[in-house]
């Protein structure tokens, strides 16, 4: 692993898994996705974040711009969420998190049950020089592969993310549909599992 890496991948996987559903996370952005990278204005190209001038709010803005370039399925919505969890690694630095949640709301279901989560990991090193870039990686919910973001090691592709997002949403929707069918049946074969109220016994 490169010297730019702050900590081992094993340690990263452990701490990234923490705080998946922290109630104190804050909504920062909601928008439609599917914009081609070629259609994005050059004005969105932000200055590389460095260790010396790092600010969490700037990292959120860069991640928001980065995610907006992903070419996802139609009607996919995203919210970028700050995460208060942080890990201080002795003598090495700090690890911060930003989360992105993807869903496909509809007029009938504006608050969909299925949400695909992507966690961004920001490694702020105390070892490297201040002019070095901040390392930002991300991984998709249910997968262990870490991808580099917003740097020279970032994959020059904005299309492969669609596979992960669609797969996660499809898996969750299938699971919820199976539970619903088990409990209530289908439209063709509904289950009569609603117990009738007991009739009151007339007094003698």
The answer, yes or no, to whether residue 81 has pLDDT greater than 90, is yes
**CB-based burial label for 179 (10 Å; 0-12, 13-18, 19+):** exposed
Stretch 50-77: mean pLDDT = 94
Closest CA to 15 of 195, 137, 109: 137
Stretch 31-37: mean pLDDT = 39
Stretch 26-44: mean pLDDT = 38
The strand pairing partners of 32, in sequence order, are: 77
88 Cα distance to chain centroid: 22
The answer, yes or no, to whether residue 37 has pLDDT greater than 80, is no
Amino acid 189: pLDDT: 66
Amino acid 97: pLDDT: 98
What SS3 class is residue 69? coil
Domain boundaries in the chain? 9-184
Model confidence at 204, in pLDDT bands (50, 70, 90)? very low
Residue bearing tokens 């439609």:
32
The answer, yes or no, to whether residue 14 has pLDDT greater than 50, is no
């Amino acid at each position: 692993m490169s010297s730019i890496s702050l900590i081992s991948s094993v340690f990263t996987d452990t701490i990234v898994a923490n705080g998946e559903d922290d109630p104190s996370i804050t909504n920062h952005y909601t928008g439609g996705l599917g914009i081609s990278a070629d259609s994005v204005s050059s004005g969105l190209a932000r200055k590389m974040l460095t260790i010396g001038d790092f600010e969490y709010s700037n990292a959120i803005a860069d991640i928001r711009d980065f995610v907006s370039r992903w070419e996802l399925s139609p009607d996919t919505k995203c919210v970028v969420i700050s995460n208060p969890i942080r890990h201080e690694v002795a003598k090495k630095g700090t690890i911060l998190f930003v989360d992105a949640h993807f869903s496909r709301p509809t007029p009938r279901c504006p608050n969909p049950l299925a949400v695909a989560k992507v966690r961004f990991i920001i490694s702020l090193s105390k070892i490297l020089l201040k002019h070095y870039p901040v390392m930002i990686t991300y991984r998709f919910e249910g997968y262990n592969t870490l991808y580099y973001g917003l740097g020279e090691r970032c994959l020059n592709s904005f299309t492969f993310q669609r596979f992960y997002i669609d797969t996660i949403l499809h898996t969750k929707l299938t699971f919820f549909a199976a539970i619903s069918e088990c409990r209530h049946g289908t439209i063709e074969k509904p289950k009569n599992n609603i117990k009738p109220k007991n009739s009151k016994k007339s007094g003698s």
